[in-house]
Amino acid sequence: MSKGKKESQFLLDRRTFLKFAGVGIAGATLLGSFPFESFTLDEAMAAAAKAGETVVPTFCAMCGPAANCGVYAFTKNGRFSKVAGMKESPVNAGAVCPKGQAAPQWVYSPDRLKYPMKRVGKKGEGKFQQITWDEAIGIIADTLKQQKQKYGPESLGMLSPARRTYSDYLFRFLIAHGSPNYGHSGICAMQMGFTFHYTVGDWPRAVDYANSDLVLVWGKQPIYSGPAQDGVRAYVNAKARGAKIIAIKPTMEPDVGLADEWMPIRPGTDAALALAMLHVVVNENLIDKAFVEQWCYGYDQLKEHVQKYPPPWAEKITGIPANRIAEVARLFATTKRAGIELGNGVEHVPSSNDAIRAVAILIAITGHLDRPGGNVFGAASKMPKPNTVHLTERYTQEWVDKLVYPEFPKPFQPALEGTSSAYYGLFDSVLTEKPYPMRTIIAPGTQALASTRGSKRVVEALKKLEFYVVVDVARTADMPYADVVIPVATPYEIDHPFEVRGNWIMARNRVIEPLADNKSIFEFLCDLGVKMGYGADFWGGSMNESMNDQLKPLGMTIDELRKHPTGIKYEMIPRKYENYETVFKRKSPRISKAPFLPQGKVAIYNTSFKEAGYNPLPQWKEPPESITGTPELTKKYPLILSDYHTSSVYTASWQRNVPFLREIVPYPTVHIHPDTASARGIKDGDWVRVESPHGWIKVKAQLYPGTRPDTVMVLHGWWQGCKELGFEDYPLFDGGANVNIMYNVDPQKAFDPVVTAMSSQTLVQISKA
Amino acid sequence: MSIEYAFSFSKEKCTQCYGCEVACKSWRDGELGVSWRRVYKIWTGRYPEVKLASASVSCMHCVDPVCVKICPVQAIQKRPEDGIVVGDKSKCIGCKSCEKECPFGAPQFGAEGKMQKCDLCLSQVDLGKDPPPCVETCPTKALQVVKMETKEKKAIEQNIQKLIGSAANTR
């Protein structure tokens, strides 16, 4: 649709809006009871019986992490046909998002892998030969055994998917084998988890929405990840209750549409904004004095330190007017019940650790930590904790010392999830051979060429890597470089594992038999474990045994759990606030088990970081390319580029092959302000060339009124075609739509020195293609 | 004045998740290229005072449906008992007059060239008891099916028409 119309047409009259908003329920009779009862188990079974179908209660599998929506999966004549939300699930309460609704098309996609394969052509050529599971497991086991002998077990790296229930099984395999090199992405959640823990002793990521008067939603998309989940209901309900929501991010997405105010910030400058807010709060003495005195360490040093960061300084960097920065800082500090929802946006910058701790300090010193309406520590239920499959007790200092490219510095390993190297770092080691190269990399449910930045370097590593194993349900971007391909079953085709979310536990049930020669990723790891001689650590290959082991603290077996088709909900323990005494003493998971907070207080001045050789106070670091950091580049590349990691219809880099979803977002686009576009003669829907100092992509212009005029945004993860709709794959490198090629990967500039976060900001020029 | 079924929609609750649009396709075996329900982005104002709202729109089962009037072969009927507008494929000649006139983009023409659109899942669910899948799947209950007086229903029609008729709508 053309967007070049006059301004008056953008200004839809306000009365229409209000009238529209008001119309609805008054005078009308709702159908059925209110709110609408969606499917309970009985209703789902009745509906299925009426339609000659069967119904299976299980979990949705279409996003993640925390893909724990309960669904009723319907089958007709043995074919998975459709999905309804499970009313009994406390997560989604009967709702399902578009990804979940489209699940059958994902399961039956022509892109599904049907049998194990081995490479017969050159790396990258994509020529494969069908083999049996036994052969595939045999080839992998033989290779790993030989490499273990020759190079040591640490030469195996395992890439991390989004956090999954199988993540701990991946760790388990690595630990049984002897490698610390779990390759975590360095852009998702663990950076926040790490920095928050070493600043305030826990990760109070949840805002107490039900009691909050003000929420700053910062660098976060609170809707697209888990659109049918409780977080979204909390957001909408808080709004309806009259809480004020201020969104801080470069573009106006639907959540911002629902918010009260929008602070359009330049991508990658969150640390500068947070430091300037600290400047205001400190200089205007808007702190919670009693809390700071009793529970914070190093406030005086902070006071002196932030003098370098006044709002006018931050205005130049962030593009947010200085008075606006001061206003929001004051509003946050003086609103008693206020919290900050910080998102993954701050994990895609070389100033990640500093942005996160500056925000954590801001929350703490203004008295919003673990208080009503603020950022609260996690709530607990009466459910006993299932045993973990992660072999945590085997970690040693020698183990940590073997890390090839630590995601977090060695003194802080194992970190929250276990020991980890940076995802990108595993590939980097193949090329640099420093301190030693990975010899085998296994890619379970992740595609490096579409997921991590620096694809041009990753592909060189894939060409050089001795052995690459792709383990996935469908074709991936890097599959042509695989030596062995393992075709796993979707979660709709298997009956394990059980899942836990909050106070709810439920068994997964099989909806359909595996489509072809598929097994689950769990079975793959068990089979490989047994073949490697690690059978004692892999329950002799039995997933039922594994689940029974884990369920012991709950006093039940998986068969007993299965007798509760919609799972079991345990009672929640009522929330208490101000748990400083216990939380601030908490021990860290690193080898020394030293507490996260050495002084038992909020680490404003961070002695843990100082001892490890890092700055004790948060600093500002420019992205590798930016308007204020590299002004010399702005003549050729005047616009800032960054990317979204998830969208309304796609989870990260998958699902472009699902027709019902692809119809809604058919093309890769660049969100560009209408004025920025018209200055370049670009119209809505034009194919454009977006060029950075590192590469170029070809995408369609989407004129997007809710974008900063100096910033353009692209959705990450584009390469896959959709056969049913006639869409071909896009190239992975120049001229394709893979935004990962656009960024700087210079080790000195593009990475956070502490948490290895990678930059997703650069400068670009845009022209008609 | 009489009472009819109607979709009510609250833009304060819609998160633009597209669940309704895909639920419709999945539950009604939607043909590729055809969408009986569509979610729109509605932009107003100018940066930085720009606003974004949403609309989820299907056939509105209008009080005075223009499609019924325009159809040369009376293939579209409005049910007097509940106001639901239904098409009869066996009569449709595929002239697309309804498509041209409908302000909501409701009538669609797939491969077979016959008019198809939302029938409020009349054939699928017992409307007195159960909501259609688009409503059922909605995470925030922004979309509802209600019975309301025709006067009120007409006001909804007019407002949605203005919203999606704006030049700034996008998908």
Model pLDDT for residues A495-506, shown as the tens digit of each residue: 999 999 999 999
Tell me if B51 and A257 make a contact (CB, 8 A cut-off). yes
Tally of residues, chain B: 171
User: Is the pLDDT reported for residue A458 higher than 90?
Assistant: yes
The pLDDT of A318-333, averaged and rounded, is: 98
Contact map slice: A 619-678 vs B, CB within 8 A: 648-649, 659-661, 663-664, 673
- A9 and B168 within 8 Å at the Cβ level: the answer is yes
The average pLDDT across A72-100 equals 96
Q: What pLDDT digit, counting tens, does each position of A150-159 carry?
A: 999 999 999 9
Q: Would you say residue A643 has pLDDT above 50?
A: yes
Could you give the ipTM of this predicted complex? 0.97
Q: Mean pLDDT: which of A33-47, A223-237, A696-710 is highest?
A: A696-710
DSSP A97: -
DSSP state at residue A474: B
C-alpha dihedral (A575, A577, A579, A580), degrees to nearest 10: 160
Other C-beta atoms closer than 10 Å to the C-beta of A10 total 19
Instruction: Spell out the residues 6+ positions from residue A359 whose beta carbon is closer than 8 angstroms to its own.
Output: A218, A270, A274, A340, A342, A346
For chain B, the C-alpha Rg in angstroms (whole number) is: 16
Q: Given this model, what pLDDT does residue A73 score?
A: 98
- pLDDT above 80 (res A758): yes
Taking each helix axis as running N to C, give the angle between helix A543-551 and helix A521-532, from 0 to 180 degrees, rounded to the nearest 10: 100
Nearest CA to A277 among A340, A190, A222? A340
CB contact under 8 A, B160 and A255: no
| Percentage of residues of chain A with pLDDT beyond 70 | 95
pLDDT at A6 over 80: no
pLDDT at A24: 39
CB neighbourhood size of A164 (10 A): 21
Whether A328 has a pLDDT exceeding 50, the answer reads yes
**The CATH fold of domain A631-768:** Barwin-like endoglucanases (2.40.40)
CB contacts of A7 in chain B (<8 Å) are: 46
Contact A147, A437 (CB under 8 A): no
Return the pLDDT at B21.
98
Mean pLDDT of A380-395: 96
Say which range, A296-300, A613-617, B1-5, B131-135, has the weakest mean pLDDT.
B1-5
Q: What residues of A are in contact with residue B131 (Cβ under 8 Å)?
A: 31-32, 36, 38
pLDDT of residue A22: 35
> Cβ of B16 and A257 within 8 Å?
yes
A92 touches chain B (CB under 8 A): yes
- The Cα A675–Cα A590 span in angstroms is 51
Q: Strands A128-130 and A117-119: what pairing?
A: antiparallel
Question: Helix and strand tally (H, E) in chain A?
Answer: 27, 29
> What are the pLDDT digits (tens) for A562-578?
999 999 999 999 999 99
Q: B169: distance to nearest CA of chain A, Å?
A: 8
Q: Which is nearest to B139 in space by CA: B39, B29, B6, B35? A: B39
pLDDT digits (tens, 9 = 90+) for A99-148: 999 999 999 999 999 999 999 999 999 999 999 999 999 999 999 999 99
In this predicted structure, what is the pLDDT of residue B168?
58
**CB A223 within 8 Å of CB A647:** no
Residue A228 has what DSSP assignment? T
Is residue A279 within 8 Å of residue A285, measured between CB atoms? no
Q: In this prediction, what percent of chain A has a pLDDT beyond 90?
A: 91
Mean pLDDT value across residues A473-495: 97
Kindly determine whether residue A239 and residue B12, on different chains, have CB atoms separated by under 8 Å: yes
Mean pLDDT for all residues in chain A: 94
The answer to whether B27 and A39 are in contact (CB under 8 A) is no
Pick from A7, A229, A708: which is nearest to B46 by CB?
A7
The string of pLDDT tens digits covering residues B38-69 is 999 999 999 999 999 999 999 999 999 999 99
CA A160 – CA A412 distance, rounded (Å)? 19
Rg, Å, chain A Cα set: 26
Residue B53 lies in a domain: yes
- What is the rounded average pLDDT of the residues A346-364? 97
Chain A: give the shortest CA distance to residue B43, in Å: 6
A-chain CB neighbours of B138 within 8 Å are 95
Residue B129 sits at the chain A interface (C-beta within 8 Å): yes
Q: What confidence tier does A5 reach under pLDDT thresholds 50, 70, 90?
A: very low
SS3 A313: helix
Which tokens go with A728? 């071909």
pLDDT at position A71 over 80? yes
Region A673-693: mean pLDDT is 98
**pLDDT, average across residues A669-673:** 98
Angstrom distance (rounded) from CA A89 to CA A568: 10
Residue B116 in any domain: the answer is: yes
- What is the C-alpha separation between A288 and A298, in angstroms, rounded? 15
How confident is the model over A538-570, as pLDDT tens digits?
Answer: 999 999 999 999 999 999 999 999 999 999 999
What is the per-residue pLDDT across A508-530, written as a single tens digit (0 to 9) for each?
A: 999 999 999 999 999 999 999 99
Whether residue B101 lies inside any domain: the answer is yes
- CATH code for the domain of B115: 3.30.70.20
Count H helices, E strands: chain B? 5, 9
Q: Is B148 left (phi over 0), alpha (psi -120 to 50) or beta?
A: beta
Q: Closest partner residue to B141 among A36, A39, A707, by Cβ?
A: A36
Question: What was the pLDDT predicted at A226?
Answer: 87
Which of A7, A83, A257 faces B53 most closely, judged by CB atoms? Answer: A257
Determine the pLDDT at residue A675: 98
Locate the chain A residue with the closest alpha carbon to B127.
A31
| CATH number for region A117-185+384-489+518-539 | 3.40.50.740
Segment A710-739, tens digit of pLDDT: 999 999 999 999 999 999 999 999 999 999
pLDDT at residue A419 above 80?
A: yes
Interface contact A25, partner B, CB < 8 A: yes
CB-based contact (8 Å) between B111 and chain A?
no
Q: How many CA atoms lie within 13 A of A640 on its CB side?
A: 30
Task: Quickly tell me which residue has 């420019």 as its tokens.
Answer: A622
**A310/A329 Cα distance (integer angstroms):** 12
- Per-residue pLDDT at A13 exceeds 70: no
Parallel, antiparallel, or unpaired for β A79-85 and A117-119?
unpaired
With CB atoms and an 8 Å threshold, state whether B52 touches A252: yes
Q: Is the pLDDT of residue A2 over 60?
A: no
Structure tokens belonging to residue A622? 């420019």
Question: What's the CA gap between A614 and A236, in Å, rounded?
Answer: 40
Q: What domain range is B71 assigned to?
A: 3-165
For the cut 50, the answer to whether the pLDDT of residue A227 exceeds it is yes
Residue A223 CA to residue A366 CA, distance in Å, equals 27
Nearest Cα neighbor of A108 from A582, A569, A489, A616 is: A489
pLDDT of residue A163: 85
Higher-confidence residue of A736 and A10: namely A736
Domain ranges (residues) in chain A: 117-185+384-489+518-539, 201-379+594-611, 631-768
A321 in contact with B, Cβ within 8 Å: no
A708 CB neighbours in chain B (<8 A) are: 47
Average pLDDT, chain B: 93
Check B45 against A11: CB less than 8 A apart: yes
Q: Please state which CATH class domain A201-379+594-611 belongs to.
A: alpha beta
Provide the b/e sequence for A326-350 (b: ≥16 CB within 10 Å). bebbebbbebebbbbbbbbbbbbbb
Chain B residue numbers touching A20 (CB-CB < 8 A): 11, 156, 159-160, 162-163
Nearest CB to B159: which of A19, A232, A255? Answer: A19
Taking an 8 Å cut-off on Cβ atoms, the answer to whether B10 and A707 are in contact is no
Number of domains in chain B: 1
Instruction: Tell me what the mean pLDDT of segment A361-367 comes to.
Output: 98
Q: Any CB–CB contact under 8 A between B81 and chain A?
A: no
- pLDDT at res. A38: 72
Q: In the prediction, which pLDDT does B127 show?
A: 76
Residue B65 in any domain: the answer is: yes
Q: What is the pLDDT of residue A25?
A: 42
> Is A1 a residue whose pLDDT tops 70?
no
pLDDT band per the 50, 70, 90 thresholds, residue A66: low
pLDDT at B92 exceeding the cut of 90: yes
Q: Which residue of A has its CA nearest to B133?
A: A84
Give residue A101's Cα distance to chain centre.
Answer: 21
What is the per-residue pLDDT for A12?
A: 30
